[in-house]
Structure 1
């Protein structure tokens, strides 16, 4: 059977590459050097796991799905994936990518999810946006591993519940554990902590709700799913910032790992957002 070698839950800040490498040193933000150090340390948690395949979880930022037809959950199944949309190149200086797919694992996972009561959509012409490309840049910049992309709806109401995201993570874990292969699989997913987009709290000195951020990181790092499901609702996330629902993708990642303490936790308060970096090793810490 396959081995789940690591689970990574991370925020995805689209300006990372531009802020830390593509901007001249004299024009960089004061946190640029610390940000780069933290990301490179986090990258090592994936490198240590030595994966063969990446299952990647993200959400489409209305690049190809819209409120009139936004799949609740979707998996890609194709030999390659083009990455980066034009506005992401223009605004964030994110380069284009072509990522290999792993059609066999995609098909196996699709059937396994259907068997477990998750009615997934499937795409054979999916393009990848920064919710997956940013974690590629930060955790696997050589982009040399095949991926199985999973997209979730965190933007277009009605949204699934936080419990549904946790349950989906548990289902993905059971499928990986049963996959008939000697491959080492890592799951890398990105989402948000408290986040405001286009609202009055977007450009504050911290994320819009520092207390939510503190609690969220503590819950994730300690594997405290009971506290998450007791305290995190669509209403509470909206109160923390109008785009905070991306936290549900981090709940999903903890669902893949299980209700266990993380092996690695770090964060960075970056002006208008809190960045978080969390890694679990379900089958033992390779470090």
Structure 2
């Protein structure tokens, strides 16, 4: 039995993994796949890939590209969710800020440097025409840290996935000022190089199982009600999210896509220079 550790955010995007793990589909192929939640998001998972505490991670595209470029010994093996992620731009319920222009010199809560909440704050600032060098950040580790920072005034705004934070908007903890979609597919699957070298066929089997699951995920009977209940979402919000979300289901990631994303990240000042796009990916499908 091959032991593999996999991690991702505890959000609705990753429910297909929960189904395959619950059904013990990996065990049937002599793979003991163990899931670990990473509420701190992509920055936390990049660190885990680097120190070997996770083998496979479902990470934000921009975060892992930046970290592989900075020496993370991992490769992207495929896109997981091919549609953009919608980042909500949130302030505290009692905040004086009313519109996005008000946030120009405000302090931004981020889970950690290199995380999606950090990189997308830069993308949003670029979109607004603000000086990226003037941005001020407060590291808050996770969503709960963001709630605390906005409530007690340690930070002014916080960017996190629109639908995950929607219950906090509904209950009056946050007020959403605007949305900022990623200008690229949002989630990819990254694997440590050592695991790819030693367990290539096992990783390929894992991908085939999850791709079979995501291919027909939206057709599961009452999947909207299941997700709404599990993630404490309004049914209409989950239905909207399902309409705008598409999984990749097995197409290999291309060097061309990585090049296009790197070009945008340079324009946004997220990375300083491009690397050869082949250095970021491992083709699992020959």
| Structure that is richer in helix per residue | 2
TM-score (norm 2): 0.29
TM-score (norm 1): 0.29
Highest relative contact order (Cα 8 Å, sep 6+), 1 or 2? 1
